[in-house]
Structure 1
Amino acid sequence: MTTMFDTPIGTSAAHARSMVLEERLRREPERFRVLTGDRPTGRLHLGHYFGTLHNRVRLQELGVEGFLIIADYQVLTDRDVADRLAEHVEGLILDYLAVGIDPARTTIFTHSAIPALNQLLLPFLSLVSVAELGRNPTVKDEIAHSRQAAVSGLMFTYPAHQAADILFCKGNLVPVGQDQLPHLELTRTIARRFNDRYATAADPVFPEPDALLSAAPLLLGTDGTKMSKSRGNAVALGATADETARLIRGAKTDADRHITYEPATRPEVASLVLLAALCLNREPDQVAADIGGAGAAALKRTVTEAVNEFLAPIRARRAEYAADRSYIRHVLREGNERANAVAETTLHEVRTAMKSLY
Structure 2
Amino acid sequence: MTTTDRATTDRATTDRADADRADAELTATSVLTAADLNADPGAHRVLTGDRPTGPLHLGHYFGTLQNRVRLQDQGVEMFVLVADYQVITDRDVADRLAEHTENLVLDYLAAGLDPERATIFAHSAVPALNQLLLPFLSLVSVAELSRNPTVKDEIAHSSQAAVSGLMFTYPVHQAADILFCKADLVPVGQDQLPHLEVARTVARRFNERYPHADGSAVFPRPRALLSDAPMLLGTDGGKMSKSRGNAIPLGADEDETSRIIRGAKTDAERRITYDPTGRPEVSGLVLLAALCQDRLPEAIAEEIGDGGAAALKRTVTESVNEYFRPLRARRAELAADRGHLRQVLRAGAERANAIADATLAEVREVMGAV
Establish whether TM, by shorter chain, passes 0.5: yes
Alignment match, 1:61:
73
Alignment match, 1:176:
188
Give 1:205-354 correspondences, 5 Å limit. Answer: 205-354=218-367
Summarize the Cα distance change of 1:309–1:188 in structure 2 as closer, same or farther, 3 Å threshold: same
Q: SS at the partner of 1:66?
A: strand
C-alpha offsets along residues 204-232 of structure 1, whole Å, 9 cap, x if unaligned? 00000000000120211001111100111
Q: SS at the partner of 2:32?
A: helix
Query: Is 1:103 equivalent to 2:115 in the alignment?
Result: yes
Counterpart amino acid of 1:39? R
**What root-mean-square deviation, in Å, do the aligned CA atoms of Structure 1 and Structure 2 show?**
1.5
User: Who wins on radius of gyration, i.e. which is larger?
Assistant: 2
Alignment match, 1:46:
58
Query: Is 1:160 equivalent to 2:172 in the alignment?
Result: yes
Alignment match, 2:15:
none
Alignment match, 1:3:
none
Contact persistence 1:60–1:66 (CA under 8 A): yes
Counterpart amino acid of 1:275? L
Take 1:284 and 1:163, find their aligned partners in 2: how far apart are those partners?
37
Counterpart amino acid of 1:334? A
Alignment match, 1:81:
93
Structure 1 residue 37, shift from structure 2 partner: 0.5
Contact persistence 2:30–2:224 (CA under 8 A): no
Number of equivalenced pairs: 349
Summarize the Cα distance change of 1:108–1:16 in structure 2 as closer, same or farther, 3 Å threshold: closer
Take 1:296 and 1:181, find their aligned partners in 2: how far apart are those partners?
37
Contact persistence 1:66–1:106 (CA under 8 A): yes
C-alpha offsets along residues 163-186 of structure 1, whole Å, 9 cap, x if unaligned? 000000000000000000000001
Structure 1 residue 319, shift from structure 2 partner: 0.6
Counterpart amino acid of 2:46? V
Counterpart amino acid of 1:216? A
Take 1:202 and 1:241, find their aligned partners in 2: how far apart are those partners?
59
C-alpha offsets along residues 224-283 of structure 1, whole Å, 9 cap, x if unaligned? 111100111111000011110000001111111000111111111111000000000001
Structure 1 residue 137, shift from structure 2 partner: 1.6
Structure 1 residue 151, shift from structure 2 partner: 1.5
C-alpha offsets along residues 278-311 of structure 1, whole Å, 9 cap, x if unaligned? 0000010110010001111000000000000111
Take 1:231 and 1:114, find their aligned partners in 2: how far apart are those partners?
31
Structure 1 residue 8, shift from structure 2 partner: 3.3
Structure 1 residue 9, shift from structure 2 partner: 5.7
Query: Is 1:151 equivalent to 2:174 in the alignment?
Result: no
Alignment match, 1:26:
38
Contact persistence 1:14–1:213 (CA under 8 A): no
Counterpart amino acid of 2:156? A
Contact persistence 1:11–1:178 (CA under 8 A): no
Contact persistence 2:155–2:163 (CA under 8 A): yes
Take 2:321 and 2:364, find their aligned partners in 1: how far apart are those partners?
52
Summarize the Cα distance change of 1:14–1:57 in structure 2 as closer, same or farther, 3 Å threshold: farther
Take 2:58 and 2:121, find their aligned partners in 1: how far apart are those partners?
22
Alignment match, 1:13:
27
Contact persistence 1:14–1:212 (CA under 8 A): no
Alignment match, 2:147:
135
Structure 1 residue 10, shift from structure 2 partner: 5.4
Percentage of matched positions with identical amino acids: 70
Take 2:29 and 2:208, find their aligned partners in 1: how far apart are those partners?
27
Question: What TM-score do you get using the length of structure 2 for normalisation?
Answer: 0.92
Summarize the Cα distance change of 1:101–1:9 in structure 2 as closer, same or farther, 3 Å threshold: farther
Take 1:313 and 1:9, find their aligned partners in 2: how far apart are those partners?
44
Summarize the Cα distance change of 1:215–1:328 in structure 2 as closer, same or farther, 3 Å threshold: same
Summarize the Cα distance change of 1:9–1:25 in structure 2 as closer, same or farther, 3 Å threshold: farther
Structure 1: tracts of 5 or more residues without a match: 1-6
